[in-house]
Amino acid sequence: MLEKLRQLNLPRARFARMIADPEKCDGCGRCVQACPIQLLELHEGRPRSNMRYDAFRCITCQNCVAVCPNNAVTVEGDYRVGEGFWKNTHLYPGEKTPPAPLADRAGEPWEAFEGELTETERVIYQRRSVRLFRKKGVDRALVQRVIEAGRFAPSAGNGQPWAFVVVQGRPAVGALNERCKKALKAAGFLTLPHPWLEKRTPGEPAARLKAWQHAILPLLTALKTGEVEPRARGGINAASSDPKYDIFFGAPCVILLLVDRRGVGDPVLDLGMCGQNMVLAAHSLGLGTCYVSLVKAVNFQADLKKKLGIRRPFKLVTSIALGWPRGTVDRPVAREQPRVGWVDRL
């Protein structure tokens, strides 16, 4: 029984690892700054794992690969859990692979077929989450242009169940960041080993959940599965344990995405399509974006919701950090292979 709880609450997993080519790496530190889980540090001018966590390690987002100006970084391996509730080893047909939209040219490098793709395809394959932003603000006209792309997303019954709140300027975004982090700290108290609630490098690999946490986590997993998934808790820990961490990564603008809970069909799905229109439009304009769902901490703070103008029937679902990228970030990276079943007769 205890082993089943452990596999549910903090499962044993295989993680990927970041490797920096010492002959190409110049120690610029962009990979360290771009890691959303704060797993890297510079040591003698080279990036390496800081061993901050025992259970929460690389989520294979490959941001470190995308932001490296010298193509010095690679990520080897994938996140795999072999048993228990979070088991996923049976779900993947193989290792991650680069984009292969032209079936008869699979395996060729991106540069060999990029020119044969449409502009829309190129934006889709190259768009990356940006976590390195310049201080320069985003003009209101450009923000409106991004929102307008979202407005023309498809929605069930043409219900358009969305609304937006734009938090503009670093002072306002910074204040929102601090309020969110306070609520995230409380979430960490419920779901994380308490020695990890304060940032330490290296971390405490011997840290364990308390008995009462083991008891409540199965219920939280049933009710809020995605939000207490082990890697999600690693992100919450990274954000809430470090006083200097900015969940919006220094972006000068944040767009809150709200959904009308009374919408036709599945309004959250509609909002997701709306948001994807927005991030693709933003990247086609040279802007950078990053979905930040840690902002949902706002939903537990009535006074902050009032200040932001969030009222029923609308509920905050996620946000998009928006700004000008610092350096080149957009580029194709490897992704998990698709799980596809072909059916031509029933």
Q: pLDDT value at position 7?
A: 84
Residue 254 placed within a domain: yes
Q: pLDDT value at position 152?
A: 98
Residue 342 placed within a domain: no
Residue 164 domain boundaries: 140-323
Residue 132 placed within a domain: no
Residue 66 placed within a domain: no
Structure token pair of residue 266: 């599945």
Cα–Cα distance, 249 to 183 (Å, whole number): 18
Q: pLDDT value at position 95?
A: 87
Residue 137 and residue 253 in contact, taking contact as beta carbons nearer than 8 Å: yes
Tens-level pLDDT at each residue, the chain (346 residues)? 677 887 888 888 888 889 999 999 999 999 999 999 888 999 999 998 888 876 667 888 999 999 999 999 999 989 999 999 999 999 998 889 999 999 899 889 999 999 999 999 999 999 999 999 999 999 999 999 999 999 999 999 999 999 999 999 999 999 999 999 999 999 999 999 999 999 888 888 788 899 999 999 999 999 999 999 989 998 999 999 999 999 999 999 999 999 999 999 999 999 999 999 999 999 999 999 999 999 999 999 999 999 999 999 999 999 999 999 999 899 999 999 999 999 999 9
Residue 67 placed within a domain: no
Residue 52 carries which side chain, given as an amino acid letter? R
Residue 156 placed within a domain: yes
Strands 13-14 and 80-81: antiparallel
Q: pLDDT value at position 259?
A: 98
Residue 273 placed within a domain: yes
Residue 301 placed within a domain: yes
What is the total count of domains within the chain? 1
3-state secondary structure of 189: helix
Alpha helices for the chain (secondary structure H): 2-9, 30-34, 63-67, 110-113, 119-126, 140-151, 170-191, 211-223, 225-228, 230-241, 267-284, 302-308
Q: pLDDT value at position 53?
A: 72
Cα–Cα distance, 123 to 245 (Å, whole number): 29
3-state secondary structure of 291: strand
Angstrom CA distances, 324 to 118, 218, 293, stand at 24, 41, 20
Map tokens 């709306």 to a residue.
274
Give the angle 136-142-143 at the CA atoms, nearest 5°: 90
CATH number of 301's domain: 3.40.109.10
Strand order in the sheet with 253-260: 162-168, 253-260, 314-323, 288-291
Count the alpha carbons within 13 Å of 102 in the hemisphere toward its beta carbon.
15
What is the pTM for the complete model shown? 0.94
Contacts of 131 (CB under 8 A, 6+ apart): 33, 34, 36, 63, 249, 290
